Structure formats: structure tokens, C-alpha cells
Amino acid sequence: MRLLLLMRSCLQLKVSCEELPLREGKVAPLIAILDYGIGNLRSAQKGFERVGAEVHLTSDVGLIADASGVVLPGVGHFGSCMRELRAAKLDEVVYSAIEAGVPFLGICVGMQMLFEGSEEAPDVRGLGVLPGQVCLLPDTLPRPQMQWNRLDIRKQGSPLLDGIEDGSWMYFVHSYAVETESRLVVATCEYGVEVTAMVEQGSLWATQFHPEKSGGLGRSFAQNFYRQAASDDL
């Protein structure tokens, strides 16, 4: 029955079930969205539910450990997000998932938290998974950047950008942006300055834009992450 429901979901999304490598008898891969007490996480959950994933908004360490993919969303203040993540003891979960090679996605402040620190909260350490700092956009620019903007794809072949062309529009809401090593940068956008829009390292991805708010292309992005989780689950 679960396989039938999954196939029906695939048809509704006009996606071939052959693209989702699930064995008979397996349910949809579990995507764990880390719930650490910040607001507006439901939109991220719904974004992955739309592509057929079994999605849990959770702080349950055991459930997260069993997940095929893990998503770290984030909204608001960098320092508050980091404090809440550590208070929920989910920082160790992040480290464990990334170290194990579980497909992992950071979104917006969730992306920023993966780096060493932010000018928004100089006294609060980031997770330090990736090298770099998060810096305030220049005073000469309107803050936040709250708009659709075009991706400038700098690194070809990222599986999460499969079917997403250079110049595609994604939705951004942020006042701070990551400064990191060029080897990690998959895509940027232009906002008076060059803004890091997406980074990648192994099975770790992070975006400054919001896939769940980016319409059809955002859905394609979520589908690509789901496909990575499904592949890893075989």
C-alpha cells in the first residue's frame, strides 16, 4: 500500500518513479527537519512533502539518526539560532550526520550556522563545519535583500542543481552573507556585491535562498535533494 501511495505521489508530481530509486516494500525516504524551537519551520516541511518525501519536523535524536536526509533551516538572528540549537543538543546531531555522509542541507540562517561565526553575533561560535565567516551586507545596499534573484552557477555538475539552469530565479531574504573559499561555492547572485548563494562539500549542501519559497524551481531543488536521500538509502 505504501509503495502504491508513493507511485501515486510520483505521478502527481509528473516525476517518473524510476527517478526515485526505491525498492519494493520500502517507504519514502525519511527527511528529518531539525526542530530547535525557532519559528517558521513548517514551510520547509511542506516544501519536501510536496515532492513525496516522508518528512518529520523533529528534535528526536533517534529519529534523526535513522533519517535518509537531514535539513537545518534557520530564520532570524544567528546568535539566537545557535543558542537554541545547542540548548536542544542538536549541534552534535548535525556533526554526526555530516560526518556519516548523510545528505544534509542548510537553508538561509541554517547555511550561515555551518560556518565559523557571524558579524551578527561576534560572541557566538558557529558550527565550524565549513571555513568562513558571515558578514553584514554593505551599508550602501537595502537590507535585507528580500527579493527574487538570479543564480550565477559557478560550479557545474552539482546534483542539487540538476535541471536548474544558470540565471534561474530563487527567492532570498537576508541581511548577512557567507564569505568562504571559492572551492565550496556552487552559485552566487548579484546584489550590489557578489553574494554566496549556494555551497557544497561532499553530501553537504547549503543555500542562502529559500527553496521552499522559490516556486517550481525550488520544488525541483527539493526533488533533487530527495533523490540524493533516496539514493543514499538503497
Q: Which residues are catalytic?
A: 108, 210, 212
**Helices H / strands E in the chain, number of each:** 7, 13
Positive/negative CA dihedral, 86, 87, 88, 92: positive
Q: Quick check: helix, strand or coil at residue 98? A: helix
> How far is it, in rounded angstroms, from Cα 199 to Cα 21?
25
What are the backbone angles phi and psi of residue 132, rounded to the nearest 5°?
135, 170
The alpha-helical segments, DSSP class H, found in the chain are 2-12, 42-49, 61-65, 78-87, 91-99, 109-112, 215-232
